[in-house]
Amino acid sequence: MDVKVLEDAARRCGELVLRIRERGLHAEDKNDGPQGSHFLTEADTESQALGIEIVHSSFPDEVMVAEEEEHAGGVSADCTVFDPVDGTTVFYNGGREFGVTLCTLREARPVMGVMYFPIGNVMFRCERGKGVWMNDTQLASLIWNRPLDKTLLGTDLGPWTIHSVIQGLNKDKFMIRSILVGIYGARAMLTQETGAYWSLNAGSIWDGAAGSLMVEELGGLAVDPWGKPIRWNTIALDMVWAANEELADAVLKYTRKWPGRGHS
């Protein structure tokens, strides 16, 4: 796989979904989440078809794990995960923070990824061991030295929200921003707008693979809600990202108490 192919796919898909939004969108509910919160538009399906076509034109044997496909539940150790529109709710409502993301896994580990935000033409790319780039600028390591009681954290608030985590962090005087787009949660961390981001009970592998790689590449932590290494062999993905161990511990203090999906 070549990261330039991932960039090309993300950029062309991002341009496509903008054109589709301009002509109007139709929303169709899915059956895999709370009614109204999991849905797709024609932009999702057309972007997915284009992205797969672009990747396969250069790498015809690459296994693609894309959001709007049927999945058996497992993920190949060697594949490329693909979200043709991350942040469909934001996208559908005319917002700016949505994007397109692809991430290649080898031996069940993210090794290269891109996140493209068509509004503003912002591309993040990363190859493991080679740093993180935002357009033509290489990003510096994550350094967070703001007081904890003035630190902004990111998450996604919706019907899936684990309120005990929010309440605990509020009690600890953290301020919390609802982002609603996994890759924008990564962007906010990489640009040091937020010190941590967590996603519970709703995310999938394509939402967090590229972001996890980039956070780690800049010296941050990307772990599961119990502080263990993320396992990249399932579609469902629950995760905690943090700029440093202190912030990770502050979030994990509450996410560790969550029993996992399927429990209250």
Report helix, strand or coil for 50.
Answer: helix
Rg (CA), the chain: 17
Q: What tens-digit pLDDT sequence spans the chain (264 residues)?
A: 999 999 999 999 999 999 999 887 776 755 555 444 455 788 999 999 999 999 999 999 999 999 766 655 579 999 999 999 999 889 999 999 999 999 999 999 999 999 999 999 999 999 999 999 999 999 999 999 999 889 999 999 999 999 999 999 999 999 999 999 999 999 999 999 999 999 999 999 999 999 999 999 999 999 999 999 999 999 999 999 999 999 999 999 999 999 998 664
For residues 198 and 200, give the distance between their C-alpha atoms in angstroms, rounded to a whole number.
Answer: 7
Q: Is 124 in contact with 101 (CB distance < 8 Å)?
A: no
For residues 213 and 223, give the distance between their C-alpha atoms in angstroms, rounded to a whole number.
Answer: 11
DSSP structure string for 185-199: HHHHHHTTS-SEEEE
| 7: enclosing H helix or E strand | helix 3-23
